[in-house]
A and B are shown apart, each in its own frame.
Chain A
Amino acid sequence: MTEIVRNTSRKKDFLVEYFRTQMRTDPDMASAVAAIRTLLEFLRRDKGETILGLRESLKWATDCLTEVDSSVAVSSGGELFLRFISLTSLEHQDLSRCKKVMEERGELFLEKISLSRTKVAKLCHTFIKDGAKILTHSSSRVVLRVLEKAAAEKKRFTVYVTESQPDTAGKQMADALRRLNVPVTVVLDAAVGYVLEKVDLVIVGAEGVVESGGIINKIGTYQMAVCSKAHNKPFYVVAESFKFVRLYPLNQQDVPDRFKYKADTLRTVSDLSDEHPMIDYTPPSLITLLFTDLGVLTPSAVSDELIKLYL
């Protein structure tokens, strides 16, 4: 019994270490992509005897990774990875052949999603007109890629970034944009309503896209969406397709606790009512369009795509 426990704890350590290394070596990579790389490596090293055992251990590995990084994207990316590789007809008698097929499909999946940010940028940059003033929230690598592409197309635009407490991630976004020679201003989270009359459009990233077409993103996004609706400014969301998750929150309370707080907080703190959530839910009625690698979607089309992905 202790042998098994030692084995699982060793496997877990390996998973966590590999995941952390991936995140460290390429800070530009999405955490979901790092998770999928880890799962692929885990698949290669797995010594399971049955297909069912393989699936079970992959599910267990996804849960371990969710404990390390509790973002929505990691759990949705893991689930989609599992579905993608097991969607083939695994009729081969030989287990190693089946594993090889699964590994190949895993590599294919990884390749597809590494290109997804570029696809999103290609779709979205055309919506940024010359002379546009853009408002964005906190630090999102996808939004950064979109703005890079727009700048590369020789468009002139200015950006307002919210400071985004408690981790002031907005400042990192501002530094990255300054390096691209884009004029950028950091504003307080409380100044969103004040600044909205000057801006032409709002672009935010997403940590997860839910079944209703709404998004889960850094806290402050919902506020920004409500204000843009009141000002009649378009509210655009950019997200890769692996962020689509099978969740259907009805309101802020309905988002599960495991996504609301950081993984460390969930582990160490017993009474969560003192902790402040790091994310909020923006309902689909406030979102104008979603830019994904599957195309430009309205919020009601997200459910259609999810049904295609998951069923």
Chain B
Amino acid sequence: SGLGMFSTIICGFLSPLVVKRLPEHVQVDDPAVVKRLAKKLERQQIPLRSDYGYKVSLFSHLHQYSRKAPLTQLLSIPSTVIHPSIVRLGLQYSQGIVAGSNARSVALLHAFKQVIRDYTTPPNEELSRDLVNKLKPYISFLNQCRPLSASMGNAIKYIKKEISNIPSQCKEEEAKTKLLKCIDRYIEEKIVLAAKAISKYAIEKISDGDVILVYGCSSLVNHILCEAFEKSRKFRVIVVDSRPRLEGREALRRLVQRGISCTYVLISALSYILPEVSKVFLGAHALLANGYVMSRVGTSQIALVARTFNVPVLVCCETYKFCERVQTDSFVSNELDDPDDLMVTRKGKTQLENWQDVSSLGLLNLVYDVTPPDFVDLVITDLGMIPCTSVPVVLRVKNLDQ
């Protein structure tokens, strides 16, 4: 495909020895890549999930799956290759039961803990090498159920590093306890304590009388608002929501339960409601190395309109979601959700029911978009408050720590 050729030309120019391959999940329109993937999955004994429905041409290089055909239907029972907790996790991901960057990472780490508990080293094998090889098919399986998020990718990198650092003299029980402790510590430090640190900084930015706008359901932003409410800050919240996920309803439920006064609007009413707003708090799925913020689709729209109204935009993100990728648009690497979600039933009639029959009609259900750093005023991380352009500095400091 054009994309693949372009990347190899660039890499060939920069360093003739190292050719970096594009990840296969953005090259779905290239039959050679798909064949390679099919062979790899066959080797790992994982079924290949087939795409569903007509894809809009601009996004034909991405996978598009249907929720009605989960990967687990093609698995034999009991599955000998994949650990049952991983099968359950994959199903939870593909059906949308576990959603949200932090929730997915924590669920992944808990599933890996169960895998490690049930693992026994086969004879003549070393734990540090064999366990990593055991995890590879699980990761491919989860990738087929739903593409991995940046935070999950970082968590997996961490676990693989910890496993390969186990010394060979270490006894199996000891190694397993050590790994379980490492995972617990990772969750505690990078997610739980990071949320506390971020709340501490964020609360300084919330003053009495503020009107705060939030979008969708970010676990971190909800945590911050609940903490601020506990510390008796007087503010009210405007929750902006969008179809088809309608995640804002969950955020609304959580905030109202605490007693915070909330307003609920759909994203089409954004420019109507923005003159009332004093600050915008957004969550992030990942922060890219060039300062772009990757988040739920609709976030860049909110940031753009807020900038036009001169309302400060604050992004809250833990450092474990920072990734070394660079992206300037939302096309190259994204996720396509089930197009059937866009069908809506009102008064007994389902619009778009037979959309597959119309040959020129495509339904596009994007999941993520990227926001440029010019629209973001401040990023609150567990290391402190930084401008959006300082993400590479944090990555550099983190690499030095490791």
Distance in Å from the Cβ of B253 to the closest Cβ of chain A?
29
Q: How many residues of chain B have a CB within 8 Å of chain A?
A: 19
A307 to B400, CA, bound (A): 14
Q: Which of A91-99, A106-114, A188-196, A248-256 participates in binding chain B?
A: A248-256
Give B378-401 as 1s and 0s: 1 = Cβ < 8 Å from A's Cβ atoms. Answer: 100001111101100110010000
B387: which of A212, A251, A311 is its contact (CB, 8 Å)?
Answer: A212
- Nearest CB on B from A300, distance (A): 4
Does A300 lie within 8 Å of B389, measured CB to CB? yes
CA distance A248 to B387 in the complex (A): 9
Q: B205 contacts A211, CB within 8 Å? A: no
Are B387 and A211 in touch, CB under 8 angstroms?
yes
Asked if B279 is at the interface (CB within 8 A of a chain A CB), the reply is yes
CB of A208 within 8 Å of the partner chain: no
B387 touches A250 (CB 8 A): no
Collect the chain A residues with CB atoms within 8 Å of residue B386's CB. Answer: 211, 303, 307
A304 vs B291: C-alpha distance when bound (angstroms): 14
By a CB distance below 8 angstroms, the chain B residues around A254 are 205
Chain B residue contacts of A220, Cβ below 8 A: none
Chain B contacts for A253, CB-based, 8 A: 207
Which residues of chain B (81-100) have a CB below 8 Å from chain A?
A: none
Q: Is the CB of A250 within 8 A of B390?
A: no
Residues of A within 8 A of B385 (CB): 211, 248
A77 in the interface (beta carbon within 8 A): no
Judge whether A303 and B312 touch: CB under 8 Å.
no
Looking at B205, B312, B385, B394, the one whose CB has the most chain A CB atoms below 10 A away is B385
| Nearest Cβ on chain B to A217's Cβ, whole angstroms | 19
Q: Does the CB pair B378–A307 fall under 8 Å? A: no
With contacts A307-B397, A311-B397 taken as known, whether A250 is within 8 angstroms of B377 at the C-beta atoms is yes
Q: Is the CB of A304 within 8 A of B378?
A: no
Which residues in A have their C-beta under 8 angstroms from that of B397?
307, 311
Nearest opposing residue in chain A for B291, CB measure: A300
Complex-state Cα separation, A253 to B234, whole angstroms: 17
Q: Which of B310, B314, B374, B393 contacts A304 (CB 8 A)?
A: B393
A257 to chain B, nearest CB (A): 12
Binding site for A on B (CB under 8 A): 205, 207, 279, 310, 312, 314, 374, 377-378, 383-387, 389-390, 393-394, 397
Tell me the A residues contacting B by CB distance below 8 Å.
Answer: 211-213, 246, 248, 250-251, 253-254, 284-285, 300, 303-304, 307, 311
**Closest 8 CB pairs between A and B?**
A300-B389, A250-B312, A303-B390, A248-B385, A304-B393, A212-B387, A303-B387, A303-B386
